[in-house]
Structure 1
Amino acid sequence: MGERKGVNKYYPPDYDPRAGGLNKFLGTHALRERARKIDKGIIIIRFEMPYNIWCEGCKNHIGMGVRYNAEKTKVGMYYTTPVYEFKMKCHLCDNHFVIRADPANLDYVIQSGARRQENRWDPTKNGQVVPETKETQKRLFDDSMFKLEHGEEDQNIANSAKPRLAKLFNRNEDLWADSYTANQKLRAEFRKTNCELNQKTLKDKLLLKKSSLDIPLLSEREEDKKYASLLSMKLTPSKSILELTEDIRKEIILQSSLPTSNFSRHKEEKAMKILNSSKKDLGIMPKRSSSEMVTNQDIKKPKTSLVGDYGSSSESE
């Protein structure tokens, strides 16, 4: 675009070369619309996101490498290096975030409007090649003995890593020896995953339509199922379903098989006293022999006993 504008300039008939150039003659800036805020010390540049961030306005993820039209402003100096600040608008909402350059740490710092996705680690702990610091470089240049020791240490690290690298190389060669079969398995796995995602999306849409909701649904977890079952049974979530079932089973086993009654200690002692007494006291007649059998006339005579006579009738009645 810049080259096209550079070779296709239109010079009006009243152009005077003594004005110092076409831009000065027309009263425009060389950056044109990107310099519309040049009077405030702001120019518009194309800024590329240096790392992954989360927008605080819409809570969406913005990946590293996404480009924006940013307002570039000089806010200070780090020794002889200018410190610039970049303000840009999120392409998914109306939120603005500000990112400032950090020359001291060779990084960028978010000032407002966004949050950095933390996925940084120490490269020395995972076997990565780490550039030497300025102090180490200076010592390597000045101290010959330190340079020799440092070189031998690097050589030892390289020798110790050779078997591991050879093992990884051989494994990679064995795995991708048949590229067609490997590609076929990989594509089959992708198709399976894509089918599962489509089914889950369709199920979520049906559930949202049934509930008349418009919210994003999260993935279902075993813990969510457990708490949902506890809430449906109106139980406390302190115990699991298996533990509660086992407690109920033990309670049923320990219960008495006979119906409960209000049989007190006093009544129990009274009943035992009556049972231990003689049969005569209980109103039970002893068994008689055939010679002592009474006649029918004797039977008709009323006899006194402890048991009341209920419902007896006489011949006169």
Structure 2
Amino acid sequence: MGERKGTNKYYPPDYDPKAGGLNKFLGTHALRERARKIHLGIIIVRFEMPYNIWCEGCNNHIGMGVRYNAEKTKIGMYYTTPLYQFKMKCHLCDNHIVIKTDPGNLEYVIVSGARRQENRWDPTQNEQIVPETKETQKRMFDDSMFKLEHGSEDKSSYESAKPRLIQLFNRNESNWSDDYSANQRLRQIFRKQNYDVKQAVSQDNVLLKKSSLDIPLLAETEEDKKMASLLSLKLKPSKDITENTESLRRKIISTSSLPTSNFSIAKEIKAVKFLSSCTTKKDLGIVKRSHCASTPPETSKKPKLSNSLVGDYGSDSESD
């Protein structure tokens, strides 16, 4: 672009060719506004994002290939290769992102203002062909034995991957040998998916209109169906282990620790009323005699008023 700046330009009458060019005569730079910081060693260039990043200012995603007007600065040298740093402003916030070059690793490095979205993996894990490193190439050039061993390893890896390659080739041929049939199958799948989506939208609209609601509805799940069936039957969901343990503990506490008998709360209330009606020792004596009339002589000598009035908690032998 710079070599075409002087083409078809207006030269004023007072232009002097001895000035060294039209830009020098006018006191301007060929890059115009992009060179406004040229005295600081900074020029404005169009920088394209080399990979996906996350902006640390607004936490938004910035995709690979997004272009910015960046300030380009030379910050050093890597042997004979210059190192450049690019500073740009995020288009979604006021945060500035700084990226520099790394010729040693053939990479761009984020200095500040963003973090990289990690999508890197080892290409050898998915059986990709990886170019040899410089160290390996140098060793193969100097060491003939290593070159021979490396070649044998490549042949063995090829033989081991050959069945997989044949399988992938046959699968590709079976799927795409007939383009018309493959396209027809895809169109049928898309048509069915489109029909299902339209049916779901129409059902949601009917339900919203019936309920007089204006909210987005989520897709129905199996858990929602189970909960709805329990609510329709007015049943509670199954308890977890903690609730079952707590209910069992309460049941044990509320149960009497005494042996089972024919005593009941009605008998206890009747006995309390009878005791409250007996105000003299004579009445109590009548009660004792009436109670002991049907008992054996051994037990009639020492009748127990508490057993006859409060309740029968067991046999007399157990109470003794």
Question: Normalised by the shorter chain, which TM-score bucket?
Answer: 0.5 to 0.7
**Equivalents in 2 of 1:167, 1:117: separation in Å?**
34
In the alignment, does 2:174 pair up with 1:174? yes
Give 1:79 shift.
Answer: 2.6
Change in Cα spacing, 1:277 to 1:178, as seen in structure 2 (3 Å) is farther
Tell me which amino acid in the other structure corresponds to 1:17.
Answer: P
Contact 2:2 / 2:30 at 8 angstroms: preserved in 1?
no
Alignment partner, residue 52 of structure 2: 52
The higher relative CO (CA closer than 8 Å, separation ≥ 6) is in 2
Give 1:177 shift.
Answer: 2.3
Alignment partner, residue 281 of structure 2: none
Q: Please state whether the residue corresponding to 1:54 is helix, strand or coil.
A: strand
**TM-score, normalisation: structure 2:** 0.62
For 1:36-115, list aligned pairs within 5 A.
36-115=36-115
Give 1:33 shift.
Answer: 1.8
Alignment partner, residue 145 of structure 2: 145
Give 1:192 shift.
Answer: 6.0
Give 1:120 shift.
Answer: 0.9
Tell me which amino acid in the other structure corresponds to 2:142.
Answer: D
For 1:193-204, list aligned pairs within 5 A.
none
For 1:185-264, list aligned pairs within 5 A.
185-190=185-190, 241-244=237-240, 247=244, 263=264
For 1:110-149, list aligned pairs within 5 A.
110-149=110-149
Give 1:52 shift.
Answer: 0.7
Give unpaired runs (5+ residues) of structure 2: 229-235, 255-261, 272-289, 296-320
Change in Cα spacing, 1:277 to 1:158, as seen in structure 2 (3 Å) is same
Change in Cα spacing, 1:168 to 1:37, as seen in structure 2 (3 Å) is same
Q: Please state whether the residue corresponding to 2:238 is helix, strand or coil.
A: helix
Give unpaired runs (5+ residues) of structure 1: 212-216, 230-239, 279-317
**Equivalents in 2 of 1:182, 1:136: separation in Å?**
44
Change in Cα spacing, 1:243 to 1:68, as seen in structure 2 (3 Å) is same
Contact 2:69 / 2:88 at 8 angstroms: preserved in 1?
yes
Give 1:26 shift.
Answer: 1.7
Give 1:175 shift.
Answer: 0.8
Give the share of equivalent positions with the same residue, in percent.
Answer: 67
**Structure with the largest fraction of helix:** 2
Q: Please state whether the residue corresponding to 2:154 is helix, strand or coil.
A: helix
**Equivalents in 1 of 2:142, 2:106: separation in Å?**
25
Tell me which amino acid in the other structure corresponds to 2:133.
Answer: T
Contact 2:6 / 2:22 at 8 angstroms: preserved in 1?
no
Alignment partner, residue 312 of structure 1: none
Change in Cα spacing, 1:160 to 1:46, as seen in structure 2 (3 Å) is same
Aligned residues: CA RMSD = 4.5
Tell me which amino acid in the other structure corresponds to 1:152.
Answer: S
**Equivalents in 2 of 1:44, 1:192: separation in Å?**
52
Length, aligned pairs only: 247
**Equivalents in 2 of 1:32, 1:141: separation in Å?**
51
Give 1:3 shift.
Answer: 6.5
**Equivalents in 1 of 2:181, 2:291: separation in Å?**
95
Deviations along 1:202-251, one digit per CA (max 9) or x if unpaired, are x8xx9xx968xxxxx9x8898997xx99xxxxxxxxxx943449949x96
Give 1:58 shift.
Answer: 2.5
Q: Please state whether the residue corresponding to 1:242 is helix, strand or coil.
A: coil
Tell me which amino acid in the other structure corresponds to 1:164.
Answer: R
Q: Please state whether the residue corresponding to 1:23 is helix, strand or coil.
A: helix
